Amino acid sequence: QQPVQSPQAVILREGEDAVINCSSSKALYSVHWYRQKHGEAPVFLMILLKGGEQKGHDKISASFNEKKQQSSLYLTASQLSYSGTYFCGTEKGGSNYKLTFGKGTLLTVNP
């Protein structure tokens, strides 16, 4: 039931783009994206609800394809500050609320 993230790691040069994928074998109600820098608490990026929506702020956006049970996080014109581990958390919906997280994608942006 743990979502699968890909790639496991990616190295970019400043200004390059990246896509991180999150796939589940179960029907999803929502997908949550977080970024965590080493030694720090995770920072919430966005939630996407089923309905195929796309969200974004600054140069980070995400899409959610409920038919494919997949979400993708898009980072464009990457900045050094984007470095960190990105986690997706998935939730099936219903009256109970339980997030299951992927193992994370380590993103390194070099000058």
Partner 1 sequence: GAGVSQSPSNKVTEKGKDVELRCDPISGHTALYWYRQSLGQGLEFLIYFQGNSAPDKSGLPSDRFSAERTGGSVSTLTIQRTQQEDSAVYLCASSREALETQYFGPGTRLLVL
Residues that bind partner 1 (CB under 8 A): 30, 32, 34, 41-44, 47, 49, 87, 89, 95-104
Peptide bond between residue 7 and the one before it cis (omega within 30 degrees of 0)? yes
Nearer to partner 1, 14 or 44 (CB): 44
Are the C-beta atoms of 105 and 6 separated by less than 8 Å?
yes
Nearer to partner 1, 78 or 91 (CB): 91
Nearer to partner 1, 9 or 77 (CB): 9
**What b/e sequence results for 73-91 when a residue is b if at least 16 CB atoms lie within 10 Å of its CB, and e otherwise?**
bebeebeeebbbbbbbbbb
Give the nearest distance from C-beta 95 to partner 1 in angstroms. Answer: 6
Instruction: At 82, give phi and psi (nearest 5°).
Output: -75, -15
DSSP class of residue 58 equals T
Give the nearest distance from C-beta 106 to partner 1 in angstroms. Answer: 11
Nearer to partner 1, 68 or 103 (CB): 103
Give the nearest distance from C-beta 14 to partner 1 in angstroms. Answer: 26
